[in-house]
């Protein structure tokens, strides 16, 4: 008996956007000493969040509020918007999947940068969308190129991350504003701000959901240190936000995830302290690069792309050798970005270990 | 500017499968004294699970293993199958959504029972499927009717829950086996076993994934008491299981959710104790019905449908009066099932409270 799958499914490759560090650990039968590849927040969530998780662990028998009302009230107050202008979802990954489903029909055009977030591409293809990928320009997403390609293809969706992943570069708000204003009004700009809290003041646009063709995505996975709890949110015009109700998994954000997100949002003091630690860590990665006579790319995120000085093959060799020595890192997937490895910020001892191993590995490979 | 949504989205109603108890609490500005409506496990998860959640709360900065390898190994051993025969997902709701996406094209036929799980219907319609709904027969899902309707409509999917939700009735394995064998070989039978652990021995079929047209869904939300952690799993032929990779959210099952599910599975002793408590609670709901001169439906789940003795309007009045008095219950959505209210099992003090309030409410309404 042959399965009668939807034709769209039959066409999809069995590709996976990311291999997890656990997979590599199983393959090598060794645990990583430093987990610097997934842009998790190695400083962890606020102690108050951990306390709340412990205090509420015995409530894990409860479904989460499908309207996450308390969290939504807190977020709306924090952002200075109404509750109708935001929706909470199962991380940015989950929200990207919903957005693709809401808009994409087979062969619809979607524009992104070549080498940008693979999981977005996975979802676009998953709904049959045609991806147009614009090369980076000087390690920045090429906003003019993205606008032009959106016009050329009559794109339904255009994806930008600011600050950018995987390079860590960023655009100031004024540049982003020009981009939105130059975009065809019917092209929805997905602005992925996963790393927004790490960026300098003046990176994030003021929130204005009267721009109907803009949807902004944020998360508790990065600055708030809760990647393991799967909570993200989208900010957009209420006419767009309301459409999520038609398709989302209403009980998809669990009870403890909501507990954690609420506690995290309420501890802005910890966020401030942690951002200072990230800044220190970023500086230490720059120093490590410099000490090893490598270039790096200034970052507005909790990771740094280090230019290994040769092509992608060389950088990949360095990456594998780092992994062999217990340091998990990742790297961009396409040239010329793939001359870099991408290193997540972490506490001093992990940075020190990374520096030592990098020096050793570079010496072996040169 | 008009949004260019996919036409499928435009056609969907803004309906929500379930209103959460938190919504009702906000409306009435009062907290429920007993939360007996969502079939959560009021006995909660194993103390060992709660310990593990507390112990690992500080690890919530980590993404969950996208292959949930440790959990999958444990599940495979527990079920006596290979890891290729199962996939873990974001609760049964998440898995149902994936299954609908994998199979359904607009206007494909899907068969279910009239009054069965609304979230399944939500996902079927969400992917453009046409639902054929077969009435229950004597408060059981009408297997012969479901087979016949699957044949008539050339259904791609046919949904059965065993034990059944919302009535709590069940079929023995031999009857289910006949059903699968009588079904068109190209119709996939989705067997929702969310309440399977509560059912008598002889309810669950032996696992045999060589039946290519059967996919079984199970969860940690019910017997294992972890509704708030969103972990379910599907068991099927590896050719079907492998297709989930093409569309699932690979990082959708968070770190703490995996921690909780692993610990729950390893504490089978607690499961045994808890099932005995549920059995006692079920008996106490039967007694409450009897004391109030009401009929009840024998249940193989952690809830009991109590026949309020009149039509749906009357049962709904009782339900609202119970809610007004702090008791959250739900009820089936269609006649004749809606002569009943559905009451979740719970600890003795909650059952006692329910009994008192029910007696009072019935006296007021008679």
Note the pLDDT tens digit of each residue in A16-42.
778 899 999 999 999 999 999 999 999
Chain B nearest-CA distance from A97, in A, is 8
Residue of B nearest to A11 (CA): B246
The last residue of one of the domains, among A267, A283, A316, is A267
Instruction: Give the per-residue pLDDT at B15.
Output: 76
pLDDT in tens, B308-323: 999 999 999 999 999 9
What tokens appear for B289 in the block? 């019905």
The CA-atom distances, in angstroms, between A152 and each of A145, A164, B12 are 10, 23, 31
Instruction: Give the per-residue pLDDT at A365.
Output: 87
Q: Would you call A4 and B246 a contact, using CB atoms and an 8 Å cutoff?
A: no
Same domain, A87 and A194: yes
Instruction: Give the per-residue pLDDT at B256.
Output: 98
The last residue of one of the domains, among B248, B267, B286, is B267
What tokens appear for A337 in the block? 């970005």
CATH code assigned at A289 = 3.90.1150.10
In chain A, how many domains are there? 2
Q: Which residues contact A215 (CB under 8 A, 6 or more apart)?
A: A99, A188, A189, A190, A191, A234, A235, A236, A240
- Residue A351, helix vs strand vs coil: helix
**Is residue B1 one of the residues assigned to a domain?**
no
Instruction: Give the per-residue pLDDT at B273.
Output: 96
What tokens appear for B76 in the block? 């495979």
Instruction: Write out residues 210-229 of B within 8 Å (CB-CB) of A.
Output: 212-213, 221, 225-229
Same domain, A201 and A338: no
Same domain, A152 and A283: no
Q: In which domain, by residue range, is A131 found?
A: 47-267
Q: Would you call B228 and A60 a contact, using CB atoms and an 8 Å cutoff?
A: yes
Strands B157-161 and A327-328: unpaired
pLDDT in tens, A275-289: 999 999 999 999 999
What tokens appear for A348 in the block? 């001093």
Same domain, A302 and A201: no
Residue of A nearest to B93 (CA): A249
**Is residue B206 one of the residues assigned to a domain?**
yes
**Is residue A15 one of the residues assigned to a domain?**
yes
Question: Whole-model pTM?
Answer: 0.97
CB-based contact, B93 to chain A, within 8 Å:
yes
Helix H or strand E segment including B163? none
Q: Would you call B94 and A229 a contact, using CB atoms and an 8 Å cutoff?
A: no
Cα distance between the two ends of chain A: 56
Instruction: Write out residues 56-85 of A within 8 Å (CB-CB) of B.
Output: 57-67, 69
pLDDT in tens, B193-218: 999 999 999 999 999 999 999 999 99
Q: Would you call B229 and A60 a contact, using CB atoms and an 8 Å cutoff?
A: yes
CA distance A365 to B306: 74
**Is residue B2 one of the residues assigned to a domain?**
no
B230, B259, B330, B344, best to mutate vs chain A, most A CBs in 10 Å: B230
**Is residue B13 one of the residues assigned to a domain?**
yes
CA distance B334 to B312: 8
**Is residue B34 one of the residues assigned to a domain?**
yes
- Residue B344, helix vs strand vs coil: strand
pLDDT in tens, B205-253: 999 999 999 999 999 999 999 999 999 999 999 999 999 999 999 999 9
**Is residue A124 one of the residues assigned to a domain?**
yes
Same domain, B129 and B262: yes
Q: Which of B40, B93, B212 sits opposite A62 (nearest CB)?
A: B40
Q: Would you call A59 and B17 a contact, using CB atoms and an 8 Å cutoff?
A: no
Q: Would you call B4 and A156 a contact, using CB atoms and an 8 Å cutoff?
A: yes
Same domain, B66 and B213: yes
Same domain, B239 and B303: no
Q: Which of B60, B94, B246 sits opposite A53 (nearest CB)?
A: B60
Instruction: Give the per-residue pLDDT at A167.
Output: 98
Instruction: Write out residues 33-52 of A within 8 Å (CB-CB) of B.
Output: 35, 38, 40-45, 49-50
Q: Which of A2, A94, A257 sits opposite B249 (nearest CB)?
A: A94
What ipTM, to 2 d.p.?
0.97
> In this structure, are residues B252 and A122 in contact, taking their beta carbons and an 8 Å threshold?
no
Instruction: Give the per-residue pLDDT at A261.
Output: 98
Chain B nearest-CA distance from A229, in A, is 5
> In this structure, are residues A215 and A103 in contact, taking their beta carbons and an 8 Å threshold?
no
Q: Which of A42, A63, A102 sits opposite B61 (nearest CB)?
A: A42
Chain B nearest-CA distance from A186, in A, is 7
Same domain, B55 and B196: yes
Same domain, A76 and A224: yes
Residue of A nearest to B129 (CA): A6
Same domain, A214 and A308: no
Q: Would you call A247 and B12 a contact, using CB atoms and an 8 Å cutoff?
A: yes
Same domain, B302 and B159: no
Same domain, B263 and B273: no
CA distance B101 to B89: 14
Q: Alpha carbon B129 to chain centroid distance?
A: 21
CA distance A183 to A176: 11
The last residue of one of the domains, among B251, B267, B283, is B267
Confidence category of residue A267, pLDDT binned at 50, 70, 90: very high
CA distance A184 to A137: 22
* Residue B4 with chain A: CB contacts under 8 Å: 103, 156, 186
CA distance A304 to A281: 10
- Residue A267, helix vs strand vs coil: coil
Cβ–Cβ contacts within 10 Å for residue A186, how many? 15
CB-based contact, A185 to chain B, within 8 Å:
yes
**Is residue A2 one of the residues assigned to a domain?**
no
Closest to A167 in 3D by CA, of A219, A125, A113, A101: A113
Instruction: Give the per-residue pLDDT at B225.
Output: 98
CATH code assigned at B163 = 3.40.640.10
């Amino acid at each position: 008996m042959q399965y009668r799958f939807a034709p769209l499914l039959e066409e999809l490759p069995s590709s996976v956007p990311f291999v997890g560090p656990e997979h590599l650990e199983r393959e090598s039968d060794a645990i990583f000493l430093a987990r610097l590849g997934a842009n998790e927040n190695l400083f962890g969530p606020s102690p108050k969040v951990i306390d709340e998780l412990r205090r509420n662990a015995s409530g894990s028998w409860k479904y989460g509020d499908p309207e996450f009302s308390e969290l939504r009230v807190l977020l709306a107050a924090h952002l200075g918007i109404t509750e109708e202008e935001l929706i909470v979802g199962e991380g940015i990954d989950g929200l990207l999947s919903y957005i693709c489903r809401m808009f994409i029909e087979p062969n619809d055009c979607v524009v992104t940068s070549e080498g940008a977030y693979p999981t977005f591409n996975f979802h676009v293809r998953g709904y049959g969308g045609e991806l147009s990928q614009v090369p980076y320009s000087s390690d920045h997403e090429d906003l003019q190129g993205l606008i032009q390609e959106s016009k050329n293809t009559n794109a339904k969706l255009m994806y930008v991350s600011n600050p950018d992943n995987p390079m860590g570069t960023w655009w100031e708000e004024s540049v982003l504003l020009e981009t939105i204003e130059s975009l065809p009004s019917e092209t929805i700009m997905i602005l992925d701000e996963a790393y927004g809290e790490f960026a300098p003041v003046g990176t994030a646009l003021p929130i204005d959901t009267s721009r109907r063709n803009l949807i902004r995505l944020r998360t508790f996975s990065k600055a708030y240190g809760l990647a393991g709890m799967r909570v993200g949110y989208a900010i957009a015009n209420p006419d767009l936000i309301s459409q999520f109700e038609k398709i989302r998994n209403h009980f998809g954000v669990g009870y403890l995830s909501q507990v954690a997100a609420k506690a995290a949002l309420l501890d802005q003091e910890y966020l401030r302290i942690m951002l200072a630690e990230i800044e220190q860590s970023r500086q230490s990665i720059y120093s490590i690069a410099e000490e090893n006579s490598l270039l790096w790319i200034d970052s507005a995120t909790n990771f740094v792309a280090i230019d290994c000085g040769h092509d992608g093959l060389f950088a990949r060799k360095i990456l594998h050798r780092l992994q062999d020595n217990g340091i998990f890192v990742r790297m961009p997937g396409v040239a010329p970005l793939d001359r870099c490895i991408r290193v997540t910020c972490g506490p001093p001892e992990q940075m020190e270990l990374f520096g030592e191993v990098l020096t050793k590995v570079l010496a072996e490979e040169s």
